[in-house]
Amino acid sequence: MLRLTKTIIINLLLFCIIVLIIETICFFGRLALDKANVGYIYRTDSQILAELPCVLMKTHPILGHIPDHKNKCDIKGGYAEDSYVLYGNKDKNIDRPAIITLGGSTTSGFYQHYAEGDTYPFLLSQLVKGEGYQIINGGHGGYSSSQELLKLSTEVRALKYKTPIIISLNGINDLYVPDHPNPFLDDRVQIMMLL
């Protein structure tokens, strides 16, 4: 029994030493390659969120969650204004017609850590540059099509911009309807999701 206990203790010590060596190599390797610091062995959520202010969220009584960037979010080609990302200059020219994009994380302009900020609304803003349109990104990670509809009816219609075009790109977040029924969707739609 004593021999088994010694073997287990020695193996645990070797395992811990190997983990420390691997963590040390990875930590200093990322520093040498000028990569983002991902911590040493363990990193708290508050440390991660402090480095990514664009992904901070707060609760919303209708939509569930909205960005809580506190104007510390650095957005490629644009800027944050409340729960929207506007691309282009901060000239606040509300006479320009707007193209509003809605959707989930594939649309969200706040997720700058994915694809280095090259969201499809950002790319769209590059395509229409000089055409006189203001691109307004209203997408948020985790939003389903019913949350898009709620956002459209409660917030987008209150915007002061002319909105001749609204683009909605979603669907993947609706696949979770069977696990989390949505009270805003008709029962027939939820049954169709089960098929």
Enclosing domain of residue 161: 59-194
Q: What count of other Cβ atoms lies within 10 Å of the Cβ of residue 12?
A: 10
pLDDT of residue 124: 92
Secondary structure class of 88 (helix, strand, coil): coil
pLDDT of 146 above 60? yes
161/113 same-domain check: yes
pLDDT digits (tens, 9 = 90+) for 15-39: 999 999 998 998 898 888 887 677 7
69/94 same-domain check: yes
| Backbone angles phi and psi of 154, in degrees to 5 | -100, -35
Q: Are 115 and 108 in contact (CB under 8 A)?
A: no
CA separation for the pair 102, 121 (Å, rounded): 9
Inside any domain, residue 74: yes
Instruction: Tell me the range of 23-27, 58-62, 183-187 where mean pLDDT is highest.
Output: 23-27
Whole-number average pLDDT of the chain: 81
CATH of the domain at 82: 3.40.50
Give 177's pLDDT tier (boundaries 50, 70, 90): low
Higher pLDDT, 82 or 114: 82
Encoded amino acid at 169, one letter: L
pLDDT digits (tens, 9 = 90+) for 96-116: 888 999 988 888 888 877 777
Instruction: Evaluate if pTM is beyond 0.75.
Output: no
